[in-house]
Structure 1
Amino acid sequence: MQGEEALPKPQRIFKVVFVGDSGVGKSSFLHQFCNHEFRGNFAATIGVDFQVKTLETKTSVVTLQLWDTAGQERYRSMTKTYFRKADGVIVMYDINLEASFTNVRNWMTSVQEQVEPGTVTMLVGNKLDTAEEAGTKAVKTKNGQELAKSYEMLFYEVSAKTGANVDDAMEDLTRLLQEKEDKKMEEVLQLTEITTKKGCCGR
């Protein structure tokens, strides 16, 4: 008699939106994460681009819907609409460009106006490779950590070019997305149990 086949893992789908100034490397980051290769010749994203990546975790198969939004000011009102129903938001800046870091607060204002409370957010400083080559960083790690802490965000410094920390950042985000969904499901089950008990036995 053959052993029982393992039950298929449950499927989960999460919508993750990428925002940040034009040129910080959102498209390159996504290409590195999805294809494990670097492309540095992306034209500026017009409106919104979309990619899908499937990850297998210990407990489930996770499909990430990755929305790459335009960083230019003229598309800002359009990209705002994509924050709605987002499970996660990644705000990216260029470690070598202080203005892109300063603008994180403006991006977070737009995000907070649209997303539901408790949406998982992550701050990502990109182009770590060029900062290390030059030996200087326009934005210090400590400043990124402090800003992320003030918004209760995850924080990573990455290189879309070398792939450094890209997978780690996305795996950490995925873990938090799953934990949040598990917590929601648990709360719903508890509420259902209370309602059922009241319906059966309450007077």
Structure 2
Amino acid sequence: MKSITVDSTTIILQLWDTAGQEFRSITEQYYRKADGILAMYDVTHSASFTAVRGWMDSIRQHQALFYECSARNGLNVEELMNHLA
């Protein structure tokens, strides 16, 4: 859970870390009511990038945006969370 304040309104995001391959076991019933989905990959691991394509196919009905972020140094993570909120 992450709380974010946007325009003086507090929004609570419920974030799930599916740890890559576990994502495939999550059926549409779990994410069809989601307001947003983050599909992340490791730019230093090509298989990670390739796997994202399959995930995007299964959630295609959501409008997709691209954010280049870094979990390592926090680059654009806050901006991404604010946009999602």
Q: Which amino acid aligns with 1:96?
A: T
Bigger share in helix: 1
CA distance in 2, matches of 1:58, 1:95: 33
CA distance in 2, matches of 1:157, 1:106: 19
Structure 1 segment 17-166 matched on structure 2, within 5 A: 52-72=1-21, 76-77=24-25, 79-80=26-27, 81-112=29-60, 117=61, 119=62, 152-166=63-77
CA distance in 1, matches of 2:64, 2:52: 12
CA distance in 1, matches of 2:17, 2:51: 17
- Return structure 1 stretches of 4+ with deviation > 3 angstroms: none
Across the aligned residues of Structure 1 and Structure 2, the Cα RMSD in angstroms comes to 1.9
- Give the secondary structure class of the aligned counterpart of 1:107: helix
Q: Which runs of 5+ in 1 are unaligned?
A: 1-51, 120-151, 175-203
Match of residue 194 from structure 1: none
Asked which structure has the greater CA Rg, the reply is 1
Q: 1:55 deviation in Å?
A: 0.9
TM-score (norm. length: structure 2): 0.80
Match of residue 136 from structure 1: none
TM-score (norm. length: structure 1): 0.37
Bigger share in strand: 1
Q: 1:59 deviation in Å?
A: 4.3
Higher RCO, 1 or 2 (CA under 8 Å, sep at least 6)? 2
Q: Which runs of 5+ in 2 are unaligned?
A: none
- Give the secondary structure class of the aligned counterpart of 1:105: helix
- Give the secondary structure class of the aligned counterpart of 2:79: helix
Aligned-pair identity (%): 50
